[in-house]
Every structure is written in structure tokens, then in C-alpha cells.
Amino acid sequence: MIATDRSRRLSVLLVVLALLTTVTTTAQDEKIAEETIAARTDREYRIEEELIVQGTPDRLKSPGQILRGYDSRNMGGYYYKLRLYEKAYPYLVESAQEGFKMSQARLGYIYQKGLGGVERDWVKAVGWLGVAATRQSHPEIMNYWKNLKAKIPEQNMPMVEDIIKEYVSRYGSEATGVTCDINRAAGTHIAHMKCIYDDEIEYRDPADTLGIPQVEIDTSVGGGGSAPF
């Protein structure tokens, strides 16, 4: 009975989020949204299998793991800003799971819009956008999520918060060991977000030893075309 009630509430939430995707929706978009909703109404909400973390990872990452994480972040941002969403997607998945907020927001946007051949998924969209907007995140991400969240009916917010809580427990800063800070250039209101691995401090002169650039190349805002971030 509880599962049925949750499925019914999820169906309502999915309909609302589908309507929020665009102001002008094409017939094809509507068909895709309806098929997605119909496919989910007969089962209880759950976090997708790709999000399930097995075991407890080592807290100290190796130099190779750190470099791979930064490379995925940079490549995902590079292809995303070129609107090559299909190429960006695997890099964004990897870096989003590592805890990089810009990657999380971009991945959430891809799921919301169904870009690059990726099937629309409102649960994943809410989860990734929600975790990306927690704590020290870029103002553009925060504003985008705030505006989207304001359009969700109040009665559906408990389910939304449950989804976000699950994502934060797996991909928030405490879970991933990636900390983000916001800086503004002197005399301007332009915000720059820098996310780094906490474990870098364990290595001597990490910027030189690991070859990590002092300035991130994936923090500029303005995604491909009309896409945010």
C-alpha cells in the first residue's frame, strides 16, 4: 500500500517536472515525457543501479585517481560547451560521481532535457541538480535549481528532498572528498567555482607532482548554446 502511494506521488511529481522542462514543448517532447512517466508509474521510487555504491572506498586517493578525476571533469566540460552532449556524457557521469558540482549540474540538465541521445529521467535530473546546488556551489547552479524547485508543488517536496538526500549521501562533498569554493575577481561580480580533492594536501607540492593546473579550465559558466552552466 505504501509502495503504491509512493508510486502515485512520484507519477504526479514526474508530470510536474515534465511540464517544467520547457516553456514551449513539441509534440515529440510530450510523447517522450508521457512514455517516461508511464514506464515509472508501476514501480516504487528507487535510486537507479548506476548510483549504488558497493563497499567503502579508500579515503586517500592515489595521484592517478586524482588526475583521472580532473581529466574527466575537464573533458566533460569541454564537450558540453561544444554541445557534443553524447561525447560529454560519460565524462560527466564519472566526474559527477567524483563530486564535481559543475559536472553534476550539467549531467542533471542533460537528464532533464534528454540531450545527446540520453533518455529523459526526472529522478536523476532532480537528484543531480539538487546535489549540485548544495553548499558552496556556483550562483548560476543555485539560481537554476531555486527557480525549478519553486515550481514544484509543496506536497511533492518531501519526495524531492528524499531523492536529493540519497544523492548527497553518495555524491556530496563529505562522501566524495571534493571541496568546492567560490571566488570573485577583485572589482567584479564574476564568480568562479573551484573544486579540488581534499586528499591533494597529502602529496608534496601536488600542483607540480601531479601536473594539476593551478587554474581550472572547467569553471567558466555558459554551457553549449542555450544550456546553462
Nine-digit cell string for 86:
553524447
Distances (CA, A) of 143 to 108, 123, 147: 14, 19, 6
Residue 21 falls inside a structural domain: no
Residue 99 lies in a domain: yes
Query: 5 lies in a domain?
Result: no
Q: Do 89 and 72 contact (CB within 8 A), yes or no? A: no
51-71 confidence digits (pLDDT tens): 444 444 556 888 889 999 999
What is the helix (H) or strand (E) element at residue 201, kind and residue range?
Answer: none
Which range has the worst mean pLDDT, 17-31, 58-72, 103-117, 184-198?
17-31
What pLDDT shows up at residue 152? 87
**Residue 126 confidence (pLDDT):** 95
Q: Is residue 45 part of a domain?
A: no
**30 is a domain residue:** no
Q: Does 36 map to a domain?
A: no
Separation of first and last alpha carbons in the chain: 41
Rg (CA), the chain: 18
Residue 25: inside a domain = no
Residue-averaged pLDDT of the chain: 76
CA distance 141 to 14: 21
Banded model confidence at residue 155, pLDDT cuts 50, 70, 90:
very high
Q: Where are the beta strands (DSSP E) in the chain?
A: 178-184, 191-197
Q: What pLDDT is stored for residue 27 in this prediction?
A: 47
User: Does 98 score more than 90 pLDDT?
Assistant: yes
Is pLDDT of 24 > 80?
no
User: Could you tell me if residue 64 is inside a domain?
Assistant: yes
Residue pair 167/51 in contact (Cβ under 8 Å)? The answer is: yes
Instruction: Check pLDDT > 50 for residue 198.
Output: yes
What is the Cα–Cα distance from 87 to 116, expressed in whole angstroms?
8
Q: How many domains does the chain contain in total?
A: 1
Q: Which residue has better confidence, 40 or 164?
A: 164
Query: Of the candidates 156, 159, 160, which has an alpha carbon nearest to the alpha carbon of residue 130?
Result: 160
Convert the pLDDT of each residue in 5-21 to its tens digit.
555 555 555 555 554 55
Q: What is the pLDDT of residue 16?
A: 52
Domain, as residue range, for 77? 58-209
Is residue 106's pLDDT more than 90?
A: yes
pLDDT for 118 beyond 90? yes
Query: Burial level of 12, CB count in 10 A (0-12/13-18/19+)?
Result: middle
The predicted pLDDT at position 64 comes to 87
> Can you tell me the mean pLDDT for 26-51?
42
Q: Which residue has the higher pLDDT, 160 or 58?
A: 160
